Amino acid sequence: MKVLVACEYSGKVRDAFIKRGHDAMSCDLLPTDSPGPHYQGDVMDILNDGWDLMIAHPPCTYLAVSGLHWNKRVPGRAEKTEEALSFVQALMNAPIDKIAIENPVSCISSRIRKPDQIVQPWWFGHDASKKTCFWLKNLPALVETNRLPGDDKTRRANQTASGQNKLGPSADRWKIRSETYQGIANAMAEQWG
């Protein structure tokens, strides 16, 4: 298949599909962290290039429910949420047969539609908690591949005792937190490829 991985700089999902024999390319405004087929630029430039599958990771900065409280406190931020929602809708409406939109718990659920699935990294072998939502078009829900013991109340290696992410403030915290867990990337390639 011809696979577009939109809004991905890490190359993790792209490379998982390439390893399974697909013609995959990542696309992001940032350069790729991992050498491989990558379009650095606006995904809208290549959205109509005959893709069979698109997995999109639109930036969550103005979408995630964890930050929406700032929309009433910071001038201009609510408008950025509207722009982000318009971008998500454009990705959902892309002329591509199979589409997966990935985001944390966000206002996409209340403003566009509920997700088709919510997964956790610990379902795919990572001792981590990070609710990940998928909005799917012509794709099945992912099936867990390596569920670790415990449940949603179990504290994972990436959490503090109170359940918050324990990654401290840093210039690249956003980048580290946005990366797809390899087990989820592999499941996408195995099950959707």
pLDDT in tens, 34-70: 999 999 999 999 999 999 999 999 999 889 888 888 8
pLDDT at res. 173: 66
- Could you tell me if 26 and 32 are in contact, meaning their C-beta atoms sit under 8 angstroms apart? yes
Task: State the amino acid at position 128 in one-letter form.
Answer: A
Number of H helices, E strands in the chain: 5, 7
Q: Give the CATH number, domain containing residue 64.
A: 3.40.50
CA distance 156 to 117: 21
Domain that holds residue 188: 2-192
- Given a cut of 80, is residue 174 above it in pLDDT? no
Cα 106 to its chain centre, rounded Å, is 12
Label residue 114 exposed, middle or buried (CB < 10 Å: 0-12, 13-18, 19+): exposed
- Given a cut of 90, is residue 183 above it in pLDDT? yes
- Number of separate domains in the chain: 1
Q: What is the pLDDT of residues 96-107, one digit of tens each?
A: 999 999 999 999
Task: State the amino acid at position 180 in one-letter form.
Answer: T
- Could you tell me if 17 and 193 are in contact, meaning their C-beta atoms sit under 8 angstroms apart? yes
What is the reported pTM? 0.93
Q: What is the pLDDT of residues 88-98, one digit of tens each?
A: 999 999 999 99
* Mean pLDDT score of the chain: 93
Length, in residues, of the chain: 193
Confidence band of 169 (pLDDT split at 50, 70, 90): confident
pLDDT at res. 176: 65
Q: Which residue has the tokens 């999109």?
A: 56
Confidence band of 191 (pLDDT split at 50, 70, 90): very high
- Given a cut of 80, is residue 126 above it in pLDDT? yes
| End-to-end CA, the chain | 7
